[in-house]
Chain A
Amino acid sequence: MGIDFKALQETVKQRFGEQVLAWSEFRGQYGLHVKSGRIVEVLRFLRDDPATKFVMLTDVTCVDGLKLPETMEQGFPERFAVVYHLYSLEHNDRLRVKAFVPEDPCEIDSAAGLWAAANWGEREVFDLFGINFRGHPDLRRILMPANYEGHPLRKDYPLKGRGERDNFPKYTEIPEA
């Protein structure tokens, strides 16, 4: 039981070379930091390789690294990090994959072809962070209203909004005939 992460690090390094930026380890939880260019290949390898078998995508989320403190800037080569949480049913182990996406062009390939679960997760990341997933079958807003402008979980978005909460028609009594 359990995945041999030491061996996995070697295999991933051999297969994807300079795509791999770093490995992190905290209390037995492993994280793989990669560039965004070949993310689908990396994820497909992790899903299909018999040594890993990460067949389940539990979450897709995102981190905005704008204005990080200097001590943390080292681990954040680009502004955004799209985070995939993988789970291997066979080995009962988890892996966190971080793919770094620049502010412009704010694009990454979609993983919706690998896991159906990525569909809504990537829509949420698109809605709140404005990251475009290339090849996504249905990239629409999922949480905010369809006519909403902007991506509110970006760090440069004002907390109290841009007046969206004040722009509604006011009730006026229908005058009696």
Chain B
Amino acid sequence: MTTQQVEGVSAQVGAGPESKSGEAGFITTKLNALLDWGRKNSLWPMPFGTACCAIEMMATLSSRYDLARFGAEVIRFSPRQSDLMIVSGRISIKMMPVLIEIYNQMPEPKWCISMGACASSGGVFDTYTLIQGVDQFIPVDVYIPGCPPRPESLIDAVMLIQQKIARNQRQTKLYDRTRHPLDFEPVALVSNAAEAPATLTGSRHSLPPKDVRTVAEKDEA
């Protein structure tokens, strides 16, 4: 009988079934860690595709990018069987009640990806009919920037979700758009500009003056 480290979990492994010795092997772990390990490697996504982001999502699922490599290829069109909501596309005020209904129907525990600019912030559609970020109404775990994002970005997001599940983390808070930093009074920004770190005032006006010396002058210096 040997002892070895498997994925950071202390495990005692028997001879293993490959030896076909007939001995019983065993692993010791925590029940929650085992559940999280199972969940993270067999995500069942619920696709909420309403626009061009959904095309990229389909590309991610099909053979070229092959989301099956990450155990998340079992797309469920029933929310009752899924644990990962992928909001891919713009959500209108007529669609938002549907999204909330479907999200409520998903069993716990569940995670959510907000894919693309429109789902995350409304994108370019700052109009009466479009939700300015679904994270105001349902908790979002991972955001994907892009318009639409490349399949690699979606794969990255699924891997981030897997990491969160492995750490047993979930987003429970909603985003309050009325408290957005850009909504603050511009006067306050200007008055604090001198004290603020350079990264906060980083605009092209705060760049150092342009170096106008010739190559020869630089060489001399």
**A interface residues (Cβ-Cβ under 8 A, vs B):** 144-145, 148, 152, 157-162, 164-166, 168-171, 173-174
CB of B104 within 8 A of CB of A159, answer no
CB of B128 within 8 A of CB of A166, answer no
Which residue of chain B lies nearest to A159 when distances are taken between CB atoms in the complex? B127
12 CB-based A-B contacts, threshold 8 Å: A145-B94, A158-B128, A159-B126, A161-B128, A161-B129, A164-B93, A165-B130, A166-B177, A168-B96, A168-B136, A170-B136, A171-B174
What 0/1 readout, one digit per residue, does chain B (101-115) give for beta carbons within 8 Å of chain A? 001100010000000
Given A168-B96, A171-B103, A152 contacting B129 (CB threshold 8 A): yes
Which residue of chain A lies nearest to B126 when distances are taken between CB atoms in the complex? A160
A146 CA / B198 CA spacing, docked (Å): 50
Smallest distance from the beta carbon of A124 to chain B beta carbons, Å?
A: 14
Given A166-B136, A170-B136, A170-B137, A157 contacting B172 (CB threshold 8 A): no
Interface flag for B61 (CB, 8 Å): no
Smallest distance from the beta carbon of A65 to chain B beta carbons, Å?
A: 21
**B interface residues (Cβ-Cβ under 8 A, vs A):** 93-94, 96-97, 100, 103-104, 108, 126-132, 136-139, 172, 174, 177
A117 CA / B47 CA spacing, docked (Å): 35
Which residue of chain B lies nearest to A172 when distances are taken between CB atoms in the complex? B174
A164 CA / B91 CA spacing, docked (Å): 13
A145 CA / B97 CA spacing, docked (Å): 10
Smallest distance from the beta carbon of B192 to chain A beta carbons, Å?
A: 28
On chain B, the residues within 8 Å of A164 by CB distance are 93, 128-129
- The 8 Å CB contact of B138, one of A152, A158, A171, is A171
CB of B94 within 8 A of CB of A171, answer no
CB of B100 within 8 A of CB of A173, answer no
Which residue of chain B lies nearest to A145 when distances are taken between CB atoms in the complex? B94
Which residue of chain B lies nearest to A158 when distances are taken between CB atoms in the complex? B128
- The 8 Å CB contact of A169, one of B100, B131, B132, B172, is B100
Q: Nearest 10 A-B pairs (CB), nearest first?
A: A161-B128, A171-B138, A145-B94, A168-B137, A168-B96, A164-B93, A170-B137, A152-B128, A165-B93, A170-B174
On chain B, the residues within 8 Å of A158 by CB distance are 128
CB of A145 within 8 A of CB of B93, answer yes
On chain A, the residues within 8 Å of B94 by CB distance are 144-145
A93 CA / B104 CA spacing, docked (Å): 54
On chain B, the residues within 8 Å of A157 by CB distance are 128
CB of B128 within 8 A of CB of A171, answer no
On chain B, the residues within 8 Å of A162 by CB distance are 128
A157 CA / B130 CA spacing, docked (Å): 15
On chain A, the residues within 8 Å of B93 by CB distance are 145, 148, 164-165
Smallest distance from the beta carbon of A173 to chain B beta carbons, Å?
A: 6
A166 CA / B137 CA spacing, docked (Å): 9
A159 CA / B125 CA spacing, docked (Å): 10
- The 8 Å CB contact of B97, one of A165, A168, A173, is A168
A164 CA / B97 CA spacing, docked (Å): 12
Smallest distance from the beta carbon of B179 to chain A beta carbons, Å?
A: 13
On chain A, the residues within 8 Å of B97 by CB distance are 168
A161 CA / B92 CA spacing, docked (Å): 12
- The 8 Å CB contact of A161, one of B96, B127, B137, is B127
On chain A, the residues within 8 Å of B136 by CB distance are 166, 168, 170
A148 CA / B177 CA spacing, docked (Å): 22
A161 CA / B132 CA spacing, docked (Å): 12
A152 CA / B130 CA spacing, docked (Å): 13
Q: Knowing that A160-B127, A166-B177, A168-B136 are A-B contacts, what are 20 other residue pairs whose CB atoms are under 8 Å apart, sorted by A's residue number?
A: A152-B129, A159-B126, A160-B128, A161-B129, A162-B128, A164-B93, A164-B128, A164-B129, A165-B132, A168-B97, A168-B100, A168-B137, A170-B174, A171-B100, A171-B137, A171-B138, A171-B139, A171-B174, A173-B172, A174-B108
